[in-house]
Structure 1
Amino acid sequence: MQTQKPSVSLIRATSYAQDALRESLTTLLEPLGGMAAFVKPGDRVLLKPNLLTGSRPTKECTTRPELVAVVAEMVIAVGGKPFLGDSPAFGSAKGVATANGYLPIAEKLNLPIVEFHGQRYQTVNDNFNHLLLCKEAMEADVVINLPKVKSHMQLTLTLGVKNLFGCVPGKMKAWWHMEAGKDASRFGEMLVETARAINPNLTILDGIIGHEGNGPSGGEPRHLGVLAASADVFALDRAMLEILQVSPQQVPTVAASQRLGICPEIKNIDFPLLSPDLLQIADWQLPDKLMPIDFALPRVIKSTFRHLYIRFIKEPMRAYGKG
């Protein structure tokens, strides 16, 4: 029996203005059946953006709030109950969201911002049997993954698969850098297994403006003019590599998904709208050099204390006008 090809919807999009963006997202999702194909009335829908940091709000390090707002409106329109969730590297989800302009849309749409630090699930996988995932993500009826196109100094690129690492709670991410980061192949496989466990129903990639160079936060904004969507996060990441003209072997997450047999070749992906060759970028800037993935124990301890300082001291002081 012939297996159906995964479908990746690709369009050109140049504006974050709400009306234009709503039209773009409607066009993007139409070949996939629209939002109603993914969300049923009453579903609790996790919107998982990239909330990396609140320290560079103008540098396109995070998924644009305008995109999250329109996706939330589309979920509400089909009867879903969206909520926003993430576990940023530094600070809280609410603190990073506030710094990046999310608060007005959260208030307007009554969109809860959930911290991923509550009860945890453990993945069922012999290779990563201590990898814990957030209860809030695992218990959502629907997960909509909303990554940003960014270069990455440790992983070359961060796209849909890497964005789901934000469903690993708190500072466990730093510990996994230490545990699995000595081997880029193993680290990439850990990220792939995380994505498989979360199993997002839909991934919508924010590539209108990306972040190139020394990302995930130290690079610069770059207009790409691309939106992508798929029910298959691995196919979507592979398609984006084709657009940016980056080899799959340069990106540990994509290389791992290929080794595990869950990343299709370009010829085995259906592109109902535009094909990647019509959107190719000739001069996307990758990092100047790649940094080690692994975190030594002192760095893990330092990172943990920095996370706690930002979350429990700096953010509360800023909220009370003392920071």
Structure 2
Amino acid sequence: MFDPVSLARCRSYDPDEVGSALSAVLAPLGGMAAFVEPGMRVLVKPNLLSARPPERAVTTHPAVVRAVVEAVQACGGVPVIGDSPGGQNTPSSYDALLRTTGMMGVIEETGCEYVYFDDESVAVPSPDGLVFRGFTIARAVADADAVICLPKLKTHQLTAYSGAVKILYGCIPGITKAAYHLHAGQDREVFADLLLDLHAAIPPSLSVMDAVVGMEGKGPQSGNPRQIGLIAASASCTALDYAAALAVGLDPLSVPTIARAAARGEGPAAPGDLRVHGPPIAEVRVADFVPAPASPPSLPSFVTQFGGRLVAARPLVDAGRCTACGTCAAVCPPHAITFVPGEIPQIDEEACIRCFCCQELCPQGAVEIVRPSVREY
């Protein structure tokens, strides 16, 4: 049986309401004191995908981060906020991201520390990994006495859903992520196994999910904010993801990380495997939550080898929305995007590995994921 998942209703980001919901969600788990002892250096890792304001629902809301930081401090711990957004990062771009997302306000008002992940990295083993036996991660993650992850409940056009397991990808510094995407290629199950291998190497002590307002549709950056009204927590990332998927009406086993965790014996395989504290999931389930529009099933290798081009989803630049900033080309792991300043980027479909980093990180939401019809060919 996996660690329990705790749920609490939270209708807004009012600081008092968030604080009360956090206390309620942690109480069945033993409170924050069950995870933090005096003097511990605690890495608080939110989802800071990109420099977007909190109301866009792209990143973990600062009210949730503040509540967790203050709870860690109340236990005598030393909280440190940190993450590594996708793409090329610099100290100045990271500072701007912290300010835009509201993190700097939390840092200044609580007096907690923050860390720039891309400064220094270290290798960590994953001896039982199926895809990788080791990872390069930010030294700040390895040096922490405890890690508390704060995922945002969102859709994702590669992994269908982004939650407690997926957030760990941000522990890999900046452009180093590209090498792992290249290894996984077009196989979503391989990428899911990669994420689970990473989870095994650096399991968080606790995950607290911001599902007050999540994201539906074209996540993880270009979707629409959606009121969900929950804070959720667990010491088990895989159980938390299973419960969160149920809460928004997704079939958990349609999410590659959840399905692979179940197959590996590392996560629930059915609702009966969950232990839930707080309101029953059936009572808080969101009706007609919009899933990611391009979450295609993984295709057999012979199909992707010989006919994948005909049926695989692919990124397409919307010329009407593109501002020719060049971000998509800069973050493309296989360098499959050609960009000439002032012109619309061109995507080489043969070189494209369908990691959808271009869609995930386009600041204008100008990259669509489409599935071609055989008639096109």
What is the TM-score when the length of structure 1 is the normalising length?
0.87
Match of 1:240 among 244, 265, 283: 244
Contact (CA 8 Å) 2:147, 2:206: kept in 1 or not? yes
The answer for the alignment partner of 2:58 in structure 1 is 61
Secondary structure at the aligned position of 1:160 is classed as coil
The answer for the alignment partner of 1:124 in structure 2 is 126
For 1:258-311, what per-residue CA distance to the aligned partner results, in whole angstroms no more than 9, with x for missing partners? 111111232122112222112111211112223569x6621489899xxxxx9x
Secondary structure at the aligned position of 1:171 is classed as helix
- CA RMSD of superposed structures (Å): 2.3
The answer for the alignment partner of 1:315 in structure 2 is none
Match of 1:23 among 20, 23, 29: 20
The answer for the alignment partner of 1:223 in structure 2 is 227
Tell me by how many angstroms 1:175 deviates: 2.0
Tell me by how many angstroms 1:216 deviates: 0.5
Q: 1:73 to 1:182 in 2, by over 3 A?
A: same
Which structure 1 residue ranges, 4+ long, deviate > 6 Å from structure 2?
A: 300-304
Query: Which segments of 5 or more consecutive residues in structure 2 lack a partner in the other structure?
Result: 296-312, 316-331, 340-355, 358-362, 364-377
Q: Matched residues in 1 for 2:72 and 2:155: separation?
A: 29
Q: Matched residues in 2 for 1:292 and 1:121: separation?
A: 33
Q: Matched residues in 2 for 1:297 and 1:59: separation?
A: 29
Query: Which segments of 5 or more consecutive residues in structure 1 lack a partner in the other structure?
Result: 305-309, 311-323
Q: Matched residues in 2 for 1:71 and 1:55: separation?
A: 21
Contact (CA 8 Å) 1:50, 1:62: kept in 2 or not? yes
Pairs within 5 Å for 1:187-226: 187-226=191-230
Deviates more, 1:129-138 or 1:274-283: 129-138
Secondary structure at the aligned position of 1:191 is classed as helix
| % identity of equivalent residues | 35
The answer for the alignment partner of 2:115 in structure 1 is 114
Q: 1:152 to 1:34 in 2, by over 3 A?
A: same
Q: Matched residues in 2 for 1:122 and 1:34: separation?
A: 29
The answer for the alignment partner of 1:77 in structure 2 is 74
Contact (CA 8 Å) 2:25, 2:231: kept in 1 or not? yes
Tell me by how many angstroms 1:120 deviates: 1.3
The answer for the alignment partner of 2:259 in structure 1 is 255
- Could you say which structure has the greater relative contact order, defined with CA pairs below 8 angstroms and 6 or more residues apart? 1
Letter in 2 for 1:252: P
Match of 2:41 among 35, 40, 44: 44
Secondary structure at the aligned position of 1:58 is classed as helix
Q: 1:67 to 1:56 in 2, by over 3 A?
A: closer
The answer for the alignment partner of 2:335 in structure 1 is 298
Contact (CA 8 Å) 1:35, 1:75: kept in 2 or not? yes
Secondary structure at the aligned position of 1:76 is classed as helix
Contact (CA 8 Å) 2:124, 2:201: kept in 1 or not? no
Q: 1:181 to 1:272 in 2, by over 3 A?
A: same
Deviates more, 1:197-206 or 1:84-93: 84-93
Contact (CA 8 Å) 1:52, 1:96: kept in 2 or not? no
For 1:208-267, what per-residue CA distance to the aligned partner results, in whole angstroms no more than 9, with x for missing partners? 000111011011111000110001111000111111221233211111111111112321
For 1:116-172, what per-residue CA distance to the aligned partner results, in whole angstroms no more than 9, with x for missing partners? 120312333363135312221122111101000001111111011001110011211
Contact (CA 8 Å) 2:243, 2:281: kept in 1 or not? yes
Quick check: which has more Rg, 1 or 2?
Answer: 2
Matching of residue 268 in structure 1 with residue 273 in structure 2:
yes
Contact (CA 8 Å) 1:244, 1:282: kept in 2 or not? yes
What is the TM-score when the length of structure 2 is the normalising length?
0.75
Q: Matched residues in 2 for 1:25 and 1:296: separation?
A: 38
Q: 1:232 to 1:41 in 2, by over 3 A?
A: same
Contact (CA 8 Å) 2:250, 2:291: kept in 1 or not? no
Letter in 1 for 2:64: L
